[in-house]
Structure 1
Amino acid sequence: MRQHITSLPALVCFRVAADLESFSKAADRLNLTHGAVSRAVRLLEDDLGTPLFERRNRAVFLTDAGRRLAHVVARGLGEIEQEAQRIKAEHTNAPVTISCEPTLMMRWLIPRMPQFHVANPTADVRLLAGGGPVTLGSGVDLAIRRNDFTWPESYLAQHLFDERIGPVCRPDKAKDFFDFDRMNAAAMLLHTRTRPTAWATWAEITGGTCRPNPGQDFEHFYFSLQAAIAGLGVAIGPWHLVQDDIQAELLAAPQGFRLDGSAYFLLSVQESEGESTVAQFKHWLADLAAKEAQA
């Protein structure tokens, strides 16, 4: 059987010592002791059966064999380092799929994604609309969810923001639907099948009762909000979903916003590595949520 030469660390020590022609300087660069570098080189020389350095008056000089081996080792370790960097880059820049509740994705996340791409131009992030229970690791890397269901205890849950809700309507309709900040009988209540208890929740947190106003049902939350923008009536609008429309004066919130007891979280399966796209997105999203919470 072919006998293997000494370990990779010994070759690393030899490479640096050969480059600097100094055991002391190599020890400093590698953060090792002079003795450790000397022993590693001696082990390599014993394996090869020939000196690699000529030692004279506390100085070392490469022998002919040492120069030949130094050239090959430098080339070989250099190729290993380059391939390791390529593999790392492939892992770091691998596509990351993020599942997000449809209305939150449409009205909050997508408008802010250009900020992420400016800060992380090589990141490949793909958004997938979805709500409720999610299986991470099988086509989905991260998920943004409201805590209205129970997710596995193995998931890491990073708090993003608390949910605040309030009635919203088109600004020029506020005078028709509200009397001194109180909703009147002329207001049509816009309901959504994806959050059917929204108006009951608003009545509960404000200490009121559900008004017997006429209503209209919509299949998705974003349809009810779009109907409010169109002036059809009043919808329950979560702050993060309507803040841009309020700033653009497309919607008004005559009664303000109240905490409803729920919150949004970013779900993942494990701690992300320092420069991976997953880590970049998690840090960016946490910073974004914190800044908007202070606004």
Structure 2
Amino acid sequence: MVRSLPPLSALKAFEATARLGSVGRAAREIGRTHGAVSRQLSTLQQHAGVTLFERKGTGLQLTPSGQAFQRTVSEALDTLANGYRRLRDDARGPSIHVACSATFAMRWLVPHLGNFYREHPGILIRLSMTSPRDSRDDDADIALTWDRLASPICDMDQAVSLADVAFGPVCAPGCAIAIEAGRFAMPARIAHEYNPRSWENWEAVSGFQTTSASEQSFPHTYLCIEAALAGIGVALAERYLVQSEIEQGKLVAPCGWIAFSGGFAVIPLSDRASQEPGRVFIAWLKAELEKTGTESRMMSDGVTK
């Protein structure tokens, strides 16, 4: 059967423009010039004999025909992308594509991956540095989520709980802090630029009231921890992510840790999460977190519930 189809490039240009509402933004996303995308859209409309877009202010909006065609094209491109991903994954052998924050990858997952490969040398782990809300656009099979101070678990019905998470203020030894009657005073509070409510959320759960002479903001959790190590001030950190520095005495946790039950979770994003490589990795991750969590609690004064 001979299929009458427009070029795939025209369909990609149409889908991106329809989704983004702008030829310019679509051109940047798919790596083409503004003129090239405009010509592809014009050719597609002429070939179909129907208007797909109309002007709205400085942007574009879909006509009713365009809206119906967008659903068809989006579903078709998703099916094609998923099929191609499975083809590549099968060619690589057993693998699982994991999306997680850069901080968790750098400070915990990658340093522990050697243990996984020693136990399961035939399974390849592919990593993407992303946030859970963006991971669906990144071909990931599973997303790892841990920062309960910043946001609740997404897709709760699908989430697989792995371990508790515990947060607390951390600072370099000798930092001029003061704790008295539920009040925690610090010379400088280190905040995350994109999670501005983290300190407020920690105060609500811990019962502490914090004061600081100044505040320094950084755009990444990893940088907040590094700033605490450098003596700039006090940062909020998850226990797993600073375990090594606490054990080595490079950081102290003067208020202990506030635990969030089941706060570390896996979000399945594809059917590969339930296949053997995914099941093996998730089981290993749960066991490894339990092991390191036990080691961390043995090194600390205990977890405050």
After TM superposition, the score normalised by the length of structure 1 is 0.60
Residue in structure 1 matched with residue 171 of structure 2 by the alignment: 169
Report SS of the residue matched to 2:287. helix
Task: Report how many residues are paired.
Answer: 203
Residue in structure 1 matched with residue 195 of structure 2 by the alignment: 195
1:247 maps onto 2:247 in alignment: yes
Residue in structure 1 matched with residue 161 of structure 2 by the alignment: 159
Classify 1:284/1:184 alpha carbon distance in 2 versus 1 (closer, same or farther; 3 Å): closer
Q: Once the two structures are aligned, what percentage of the paired residues are identical?
A: 25
Residue in structure 2 matched with residue 102 of structure 1 by the alignment: 102
Counterpart mapping for 1:191-230 below 5 A: 191-230=191-230
Equivalent pair of 1:92/1:277 in contact (CA under 8 Å): no
Q: Give the whole-Å Cα distance in 2 for the aligned partners of 1:254 and 1:109.
A: 26
Classify 1:221/1:243 alpha carbon distance in 2 versus 1 (closer, same or farther; 3 Å): same
Q: Give the whole-Å Cα distance in 2 for the aligned partners of 1:122 and 1:100.
A: 22
Equivalent pair of 1:187/1:233 in contact (CA under 8 Å): yes
Classify 1:127/1:208 alpha carbon distance in 2 versus 1 (closer, same or farther; 3 Å): same
Deviations 1:70-111 (A, max 9, x none): xxxxxxxxxxxxxxxxx9x95893332100122111111111
Which one-letter code corresponds to 1:117 in the other structure? Y
Classify 1:235/1:93 alpha carbon distance in 2 versus 1 (closer, same or farther; 3 Å): same
Gaps of 5+ in 2: 1-86, 296-305
Using the TM superposition, give the Cα deviation of residue 117 of structure 1 relative to its aligned residue in structure 2, in angstroms: 0.9
Report SS of the residue matched to 2:97. strand
After TM superposition, the score normalised by the length of structure 2 is 0.58
Classify 1:252/1:294 alpha carbon distance in 2 versus 1 (closer, same or farther; 3 Å): same
Using the TM superposition, give the Cα deviation of residue 152 of structure 1 relative to its aligned residue in structure 2, in angstroms: 4.4
Deviations 1:38-65 (A, max 9, x none): xxxxxxxxxxxxxxxxxxxxxxxxxxxx
Q: Give the whole-Å Cα distance in 2 for the aligned partners of 1:294 and 1:181.
A: 29
Moved over 4 A (4+): 89-92, 134-138, 179-186
Q: Give the whole-Å Cα distance in 2 for the aligned partners of 1:109 and 1:288.
A: 10
Classify 1:187/1:127 alpha carbon distance in 2 versus 1 (closer, same or farther; 3 Å): same
Classify 1:150/1:170 alpha carbon distance in 2 versus 1 (closer, same or farther; 3 Å): closer
Gaps of 5+ in 1: 1-86
Residue in structure 2 matched with residue 290 of structure 1 by the alignment: 290
Q: Give the whole-Å Cα distance in 1 for the aligned partners of 2:132 and 2:162.
A: 17
Classify 1:113/1:181 alpha carbon distance in 2 versus 1 (closer, same or farther; 3 Å): farther
Using the TM superposition, give the Cα deviation of residue 168 of structure 1 relative to its aligned residue in structure 2, in angstroms: 0.4
Using the TM superposition, give the Cα deviation of residue 157 of structure 1 relative to its aligned residue in structure 2, in angstroms: 1.8
Classify 1:258/1:138 alpha carbon distance in 2 versus 1 (closer, same or farther; 3 Å): closer
Query: What is the Cα-based RMSD across aligned positions, in Å?
Result: 3.0
Report SS of the residue matched to 2:236. strand
Counterpart mapping for 1:1-295 below 5 A: 90=90, 93-134=93-134, 136=136, 139-146=139-146, 148-149=151-152, 151-152=154-155, 156-171=158-173, 173-174=174-175, 176-178=176-178, 185=185, 187-260=187-260, 263-268=263-268, 269-270=270-271, 272-273=274-275, 276-295=276-295
| Larger-gyration structure (1/2) | 1
